[in-house]
Amino acid sequence: MTLATDPKAAAAPAGSLPNAAPQKVGLMLVNLGTPDGTEYGPMWRYLREFLSDPRVIEMPRWLWYPILYGLVLTTRPKKSGANYAKIWNREKNESPLRTYTRGQSERLTERLADLDNVSVDWAMRYGTPSTRAVVEKLVGQGCDRILTFPLYPQYSATTTATANDQLFRALMKLRRAPAVRSVPPYYAEPVYIDALARSIEKHLATLDFEPEVIAASYHGIPKPYSDKGDPYQAHCLETTRLLRERLGWSEKKLITTFQSRFGAQEWLQPYTDKTMERLGKEGVKRIAVVNPGFSSDCIETLEEIAQEAREIFLHAGGEKFAHIPCLNDSPEGMDVIETLARRELAGWI
């Protein structure tokens, strides 16, 4: 069968087709998320979105939802809001996580100023700015390729995977979806290990004491998730091992713990809070805690560690406690983000 063609159409220059030529590259930093306020309403909306994610809570919906809506969302927003209020950025009226993630985006924009066709932006998996809104914004700016950068050094289905899930849900809504890449976990990258080591050394130099023990505290996940094959625990242990090797410390000097457990099931151990209590009772007087699994300081580091863990340790007999800040948008932290971003942009710029 022969198809009829319009000679004029056949002769039309390719450039007349709308948006036919390669355009720009969007680079989207993605962090976990944050409520828009500490009041009950914003906390309820944030927790509902977060705790409704089947990657986060691996329970049948018929079993979990009555617990979520009948118990968790009636009590936890008030408690979580009070904790957020302790660390809230009053000047900007936002959580520190939002402040630092925006800062990382701004610093990265400055560092990639030599790349004319790259647009940098930032999004949250839960809350605002949403992944979908930022994807649509980048596409609207002419980006036909997007590099997404999940800001989780160690991979877990509860973090990296669900961030990528949300990206592809956003793409499903677009008629013309851009090509995408995702920055892989960087738990063992030399630039990341070196940045952590330099940040730790810099902070320890400001203290008026030398810690006997330094705990690398990572966000935990339920043990059954790990048993099913999630590599998160192995990634955390490898980060600690490489960091210990880089700093020249012993296994007793730098230990690994896991924090932020939720619910009744067993999570990855040893638990950070129980370890703080045990060390205090065993006679350790000086300790510091670093959070290598968090790219930015947030509720889990500024309230749970810098405040709660401190109180537990001091109450158990400890005398000196220090929380070592996350990399945030520091020069060390931005060295990591820039190095990995430039590597993953290769072939697109």
C-alpha dihedral sign at 167, 235, 238, 214: positive
List residues bridging with 143 in a β-sheet: 24
Annotated binding site for Fe(2+): 219, 300
Inter-axis angle of helices 331-345 and 96-111, nearest 10: 60
Q: Give the position of tokens 């099913």.
A: 228
For the annotated binding site, the residues are: 219, 300
> Phi, psi (5° rounding) for residue 17?
-70, 140
Is the C-alpha dihedral spanning 268, 148, 127, 111 positive or negative?
Answer: positive
Give all strands of the β-sheet with 179-182 in edge-to-edge order: 118-127, 24-34, 143-150, 179-182
Edge-to-edge strand ranges of the sheet holding 254-259 = 254-259, 213-219, 286-290, 320-324
CA–CA separation, 158 and 152 (whole Å) = 10
What is the DSSP secondary structure assignment for residue 154, as one 8-state letter?
S
Instruction: Report residue 97 CA to chain centroid gap.
Output: 9
Q: What DSSP letter does each residue of 76-134 carry, written as one string?
A: HHHHHHHHHHHH-BTTTTB-HHHHHHHHHHHHHHHHTTT-TTEEEEEEEEEESSBHHHH
Q: Give the angle subtended at the CA of 77 by the CAs of 76 and 80, to the nearest 5°.
A: 80
**Amino acid present at 56:** V
